[in-house]
């Protein structure tokens, strides 16, 4: 790649003016310039393109050979925000062979150092050898393209696992990079940008509870403590286990992380790339047919962990994965169903508690043929001042005829919370003339097995269909063993399905509602 001599003071003023122009004005300016000036301006256009993003840098240095894709641009955007001074913690989950490490552990750090030559980058992987490979790659690009990049290695410090940059003119601070294996020591090393790329070697590594604990302890006591003021962190991984480093961080500190969750096949209407359900992440490389072959070869458990970023726990004693996966309904097919009943169920932590506890909130339906559909799992951390509204909004959205609440702990208070929330929404015009659903109380803290097993039998007969995927709910179901505490999401789903399966309540939906809430569902 050609480089130019250091610009004179006059050329520096010209370049500063040129960079301040819009793209259209720059083209107009270049057309009027002399051949010598146009050569300088062409070089500046390359610099502008390289400054723009890691992908832009890659495209210029490889002369377009580095592949680009929408999901890689999302990674670029995270680096752009960090380089512009935002302090972020970004969690990137992506399938194998989709370019995440090449962009986030190689081009990204190289671009970041070009933009911030006095900063330090740290890269950690499950093994020091892999981390060193990333460091060696970045170092080698600095050697080969130093003129174009505008930054150079310090000749006295250029090892693959630790190298420094030359001090920028007018600065006494050296930037650089250090690499290490997860679990290794980092004494005396710090970072402005810390990257963890694949903290687990594979399924066996992540399947060890002791190893998961070691990785988490290392992250907290070693890696995290090496942050410089204002430092950012990027965690890149394929999800091997529901309690891997990503899973544990999302469990303990979800508010700290920006998630870039990129499944191989879009499985949510809220896909970060705006894909339709069923669309591949990188169709020019791995289209839907390729991924279907991969899924068949890997099996469901490995497919969902590695490619969909939704690790599934091993089965317990009541539900089986096949009962759920074999009878799943594509959300696009739901409008073609004609439900006779729709209910919302809530498993609250205690009616009058204002603590932010996990609240189970699910919606389910039944059709005239005796099939059941789990429509929503909206469970999340909520206090009593918010979960009542969430219940009512879901009931309005799904036009439910009943709301199921537990009366064990604060049951009367739970009814009051739901009623008050409905009245508030009605005053605000949010109910849109819909009559308030019946509030049905259940006493469920005793006899969990007696309540859960009949519902599991409905699943075993292929009568229950999950409309889409509910990873947390399904994980709770297949790992629950009688005698364990019954988890909130599962409780809410069981409450809803029990009400729908109750012969005594089946007639509830057999006559039209006065507000026609079940009409026109097709």
- What is d(CA 176, CA 112) in angstroms, rounded to the nearest whole number? 11
Q: Is the predicted pLDDT of residue 401 greater than 80, yes or no?
A: yes
Query: What mean pLDDT do residues 61-66 have?
Result: 91
How would residue 16 be classed by pLDDT, with cut points 50, 70 and 90?
confident
Q: What confidence tens digit (pLDDT) does each residue in 381-396 have?
A: 888 789 999 999 999 9
- 133-169 CB burial, b ≥16 within 10 A, e <16: bbbebbbebbeebeebbebebeeeeeebbbbbbbeee
Lowest mean pLDDT, pick from 23-37, 370-384, 388-402: 23-37
pLDDT value at residue 504: 65
Query: What mean pLDDT do residues 398-417 have?
Result: 83
CA 112 from chain center: how many Å? 23
pLDDT value at residue 28: 82
pLDDT value at residue 7: 67
- Which two structure tokens, joined as six digits, stand for 38? 């146009």
Q: Is the predicted pLDDT of residue 113 greater than 60, yes or no?
A: yes
Write the DSSP assignment of 60-82 as a string of letters: HHTTT-S---HHHHHHHHHHHHH
Q: Which residue has the higher pLDDT, 514 or 335?
A: 335
Q: Is the predicted pLDDT of residue 351 greater than 50, yes or no?
A: no
Query: Taking the C-alpha atoms of 143, 147, 148 and 154 in order, what is their torsion angle to the nearest 10 degrees?
Result: 50
- Which two structure tokens, joined as six digits, stand for 472? 């947390």
pLDDT value at residue 422: 96
How would residue 25 be classed by pLDDT, with cut points 50, 70 and 90?
confident
Contact 465, 328 (CB under 8 A): yes
Query: What mean pLDDT do residues 61-75 have?
Result: 93
Helices (runs of H) and strands (runs of E) counted in the chain: 20, 15
Q: Is the predicted pLDDT of residue 201 greater than 80, yes or no?
A: yes
Query: What mean pLDDT do residues 354-369 have?
Result: 84
Q: Is the predicted pLDDT of residue 61 greater than 80, yes or no?
A: yes
Mean per-residue pLDDT over the chain, rounded: 86
Sign of the Cα torsion 183, 188, 194, 197 reads: negative
Lowest mean pLDDT, pick from 158-162, 310-314, 476-480, 487-491: 310-314
3 state SS for 36-48: HHHHHHHHHHHHH
Please state the pTM of the whole predicted model. 0.66
Q: Is the predicted pLDDT of residue 512 greater than 50, yes or no?
A: no
Q: Tell me phi and psi for residue 438, to 5 degrees.
A: -65, 140
How would residue 350 be classed by pLDDT, with cut points 50, 70 and 90?
low
Contact 370, 507 (CB under 8 A): no
Contact 362, 378 (CB under 8 A): yes
How would residue 239 be classed by pLDDT, with cut points 50, 70 and 90?
confident
Where do the H-state alpha helices sit in 103-208?
Answer: 108-115, 128-144, 146-149, 203-206
pLDDT value at residue 38: 77
Query: What mean pLDDT do residues 312-318 have?
Result: 71
pLDDT value at residue 2: 55
Identify the three-state secondary structure at position 51: helix
């Amino acid at each position: 790649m050609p480089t130019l001599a250091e610009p004179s003071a006059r050329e520096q003023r010209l370049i500063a003016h040129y960079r301040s122009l819009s793209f259209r004005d720059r083209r107009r300016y270049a057309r009027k310039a002399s051949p010598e000036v146009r050569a300088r301006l062409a070089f500046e256009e390359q610099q502008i393109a390289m400054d723009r993003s890691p992908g832009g840098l890659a495209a210029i240095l490889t002369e377009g050979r580095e592949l680009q894709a929408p999901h890689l641009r999302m990674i670029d955007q995270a680096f752009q925000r960090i380089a512009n001074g935002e302090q972020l913690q970004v969690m990137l989950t992506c399938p194998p062979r989709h370019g995440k490490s090449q962009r986030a552990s190689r081009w990204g750090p190289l671009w970041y150092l070009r933009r911030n030559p006095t900063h330090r980058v740290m890269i950690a992987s499950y093994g020091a050898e892999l981390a060193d490979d990333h460091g060696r790659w970045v170092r080698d690009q600095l050697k080969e393209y130093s003129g174009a990049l505008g930054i150079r290695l310090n000749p006295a410090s250029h090892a693959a696992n630790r190298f420094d940059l030359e001090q920028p003119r007018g600065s006494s601070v050296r930037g650089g990079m250090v690499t290490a294996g997860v679990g290794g020591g980092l004494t005396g090393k710090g970072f402005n940008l810390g990257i963890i790329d694949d903290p687990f070697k594979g399924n066996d590594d992540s399947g060890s509870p002791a190893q998961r604990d070691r990785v988490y302890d290392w992250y907290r006591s070693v890696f995290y403590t090496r942050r410089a003021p204002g430092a950012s962190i990027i965690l890149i991984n394929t999800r091997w286990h529901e309690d891997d480093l990503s899973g544990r961080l999302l469990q303990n500190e979800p508010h700290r992380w920006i998630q870039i969750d990129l499944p191989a096949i879009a499985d949510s209407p809220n896909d970060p790339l705006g894909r339709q359900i069923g669309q591949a992440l990188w169709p020019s490389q791995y289209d839907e047919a390729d991924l279907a072959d991969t899924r068949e070869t890997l099996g469901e458990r490995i497919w969902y962990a590695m490619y969909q970023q939704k690790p599934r726990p091993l089965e317990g004693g009541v539900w089986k994965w096949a009962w759920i996966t074999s009878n799943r309904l594509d959300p696009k097919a739901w409008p073609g169903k004609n439900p006779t009943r729709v209910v919302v169920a809530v498993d609250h932590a205690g009616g009058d508690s204002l603590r932010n506890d996990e609240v189970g909130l699910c919606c389910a339906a039944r059709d005239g043929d005796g099939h059941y559909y789990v429509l929503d799992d909206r469970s999340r951390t909520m206090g009593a001042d918010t979960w009542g509204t969430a219940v009512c909004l879901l009931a309005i959205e799904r036009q439910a005829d009943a709301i199921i609440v537990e009366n064990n702990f604060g049951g009367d208070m739970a009814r009051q919370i739901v009623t008050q929330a409905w009245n508030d929404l009605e005053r605000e015009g949010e109910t849109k003339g819909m009559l308030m659903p019946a509030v049905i109380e259940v006493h469920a803290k005793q006899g969990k097995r007696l309540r859960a097993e009949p519902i599991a039998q409905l699943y075993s007969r292929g009568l229950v269909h999950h409309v889409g995927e509910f990873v947390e709910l399904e994980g709770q179901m297949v790992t629950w063993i009688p005698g364990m505490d019954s988890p909130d999401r599962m409780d809410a789903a069981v409450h809803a399905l029990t009400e729908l399966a109750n012969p005594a309540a089946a007639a509830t939906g057999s006559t039209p509602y006065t507000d026609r809430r079940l009409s026109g569902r097709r």
